[in-house]
Amino acid sequence: MNSQGHNEQRVVWTVVATDIGPLLLAATRDGLVNVVFHATDPVRDKALDRLGSRLGGEPVEAPDSPLLAEAIRQLRAYFAGERQDFELALDWSLISGFNRQVLRELASGVPFGTVVGYGDLAGRVGQPGGAQAVGVAMGSNPLPVVVPCHRVVERDGGIGGFGGGLETKRKLLALEGVLPEPLF
């Protein structure tokens, strides 16, 4: 335990370049714990401060860490169009309750190249009428791309919101063949 009484968890991190911009990847011994969009220096620093306070200890930059190697490899393959499914150990410690339940259902039940409505996803976890709560769960997803919140859309065909920005959501959906590639 650290001096604040928290169990300290060693967190390693790196930033990788992708087709949707730099992603911060962070992992613990239990698995990938966080993916952060648009990981410019200020975004990265804020995310690392948050991780340190939530998990205890100072996150350590370790681009060659074995804890990150497979996540980096699979993300590169995904963006190259060579991988559709992620097979990674995930550390779910940053999320709990209903949000964790929804994200686990999303990860296991909405495959590459498909989308699901917010309300439909709510129904799958036994909360019909919980579309707004599903939206909150998507917004709190600590593992975007790997846990594919970009695949959740509005019932009327709109693409809905997205923590990484709508342009990023469109690019991910185009990569998966759900939307046409943007013209510009």
| Burial of 181 from C-beta contacts in 10 A (0-12 / 13-18 / 19+) | exposed
Q: Specify which residues 16 forms β-bridges with.
A: 23
Say whether 149 is catalytic.
yes
Tokens of 72: 């980096």
Residues 68, 149, 152, 175: which is the catalytic one?
Answer: 149
- Cα–Cα distance for residue pair 6/1, rounded to 1 Å: 5
What are the start-end ranges of the H helices in the chain? Answer: 41-55, 66-79, 97-109, 118-124, 131-139, 166-175
The residues that are catalytic are 149
